[in-house]
Amino acid sequence: MENFSNDVFTILNYQGSKKNLLSFIHKNTVEVIDDKKAVFDIFAGSCAVGYSFKRYYKIFANDSEMYSSVIAKALLQYNDKSLWEIYKNRFNESYQRNYNDLFKLFGKYAVEENELIRAEDIQKVKSFYDNYPTVWNGYLRLYNDTIRTAKDLKKRKNQIPYMLFTTYYGNTYFGVNQSIEIDSIRYAIEEIEDNALKNVLLTSLFFAMKECTFSKDGHMAQPLSIENNQTKLFNVRKKSIFDYFQRKLFDFQSPDFVLSSNDNIVFNKPISEVYNIDSLKQEVGFIYADPPYTDMQYSRYYHLLNTAALYDYDSISLYRGKVSKGLYRENRFQSPLSQRSNALDQTSMLFDYCKGNRINLALSFAYPRNTKEQATNRYTMDIEDIIGTAEIKFGRKNVKVLTEEYEHSNNRNKDTKKVLEYLIVCKY
């Protein structure tokens, strides 16, 4: 049990992450885990729970979000640390090639940005970013005006350097220099043939983006106001994406990173499609489920990670005819589990799936400790409804409800939210 709790590998400041609750989860699920079958982390998120089981079990993982499946593949499928040494020189050469090409196009902006950030003149910095050319402010003019929009970039993406972040986000979430680094890292990643290593590199890039983003708490729901967050702006703009990328890549190479001889498998599917995968019904003996518990869509908070993974020059969504403040992807995924009208039905389907296929289940759900003083209007389900449905599906004697007091960070203010972490353990 000690080993489970110590196997922690942090990538993101992930909402609802269970990395600090691993002891609570493991000690209360050990009796319902079949040692001869696989463990399935069905809403993987940042894969904290799935990774904590990696040392001893074959792991299946799934998440509907692309960035999450990339992280899960990196944590669960990377088992050969010699790969980086094989590809390191090629990676560095590719990075430098794209960097040099971008610097020819955007170097004057990169140099000016560095000077302004060092001088910490907020008015000049704001003016600089207001006039920096992007696909959404109409100032972009490249290659004799043949590239001005996202559609132009997509059309010619195979003939130009990687420049998505430089032309989309170089004056908001990230600075010009940071965006050039992101694009060049992403170009170099694409040159890697080994998928396991490619996912490790992408995940290391996600970590660097989280550390350097000009947004709240490392989330990427929307960029902060420059005028109201001057200190943070200067602090994060002085950070190097490449430095943080290397730090996390070093962590993957460390002796503490857990290796496995199991053929761990990761899916990137909506939950409704997972139920149709026949191999799971035979191989999985235990499912851990940590579904969304509020109506806040994860695709809003981590959309830039999906963009980095897909690198598809997607159009930016509009809100009331204007570019969305968060510069969101046009077609980001909307989970039914984050919709009050669908969440309980979706959870009931999970109960039916586990019961019908003789799979034990543990479902985590955070809920306010004091519902009279703490608002519950953003929660998609009432905890009593979840417990009641579980007891109907599995039988009351086969359902155990455990709780742990915990405090969640609150994105709306500085106070933490005092919650009870419920663990609903169901035996078929």
pLDDT, residue 319, reads 84
Find, among 58, 56, 50, the residue nearest to 11 by Cα.
50
What are residue 124's DSSP bridge partners? Answer: none
Output the pTM of the full model.
Answer: 0.94
Q: Can you give the pLDDT at residue 183? A: 98
DSSP assignments along 223-238, one per residue? PPPTTT-HHHHHHHHT
H-helix or E-strand spanning residue 387? helix 383-394
Domain ranges of the chain: 2-79+270-291+334-420, 83-253
Place of tokens 């702006």: 233
**Three-state DSSP class for residue 366:** strand
Q: How confident is the model at residue 3 (pLDDT cuts 50, 70, 90)?
A: low
Instruction: Tell me the per-residue pLDDT of 183-221, one tens digit each, with 9 for 90 and over.
Output: 999 999 999 999 999 999 999 999 999 999 999 987 899
Q: What is the mean pLDDT of residues 38-56?
A: 96
- 335 to each of 277, 289, 294, 295, 342, how far by Cα in Å? 20, 15, 11, 9, 9
Higher pLDDT, 409 or 105: 105
**What confidence tens digit (pLDDT) does each residue in 112-148 have?**
999 999 999 999 999 999 999 999 999 999 999 999 9
Angle at which helix 122-130 crosses helix 230-237, to 10 degrees, equals: 70
Q: What count of residues does the chain have?
A: 428
Would you call 329 helix, strand, or coil by DSSP?
strand
Q: Which long-range contacts (CB under 8 A, 24 or more apart) does 35-38 make?
A: 36/285, 37/283, 37/284, 37/285, 37/286, 38/283, 38/284, 38/285, 38/286
Each residue's pLDDT tens digit, 308-335: 999 999 998 888 888 988 998 887 777 8
Rounded-to-integer distance, Cα 386 and Cα 384, Å: 5
**Domain 2-79+270-291+334-420 belongs to what topology?**
Rossmann fold (3.40.50)
Per-residue burial over 58-70, b = 16 or more CB atoms within 10 Å of its CB, e = otherwise: bbbbbbbbbbbbb
pLDDT at 412 over 50: no
Confidence of residue 411 (pLDDT cuts 50, 70, 90): very low
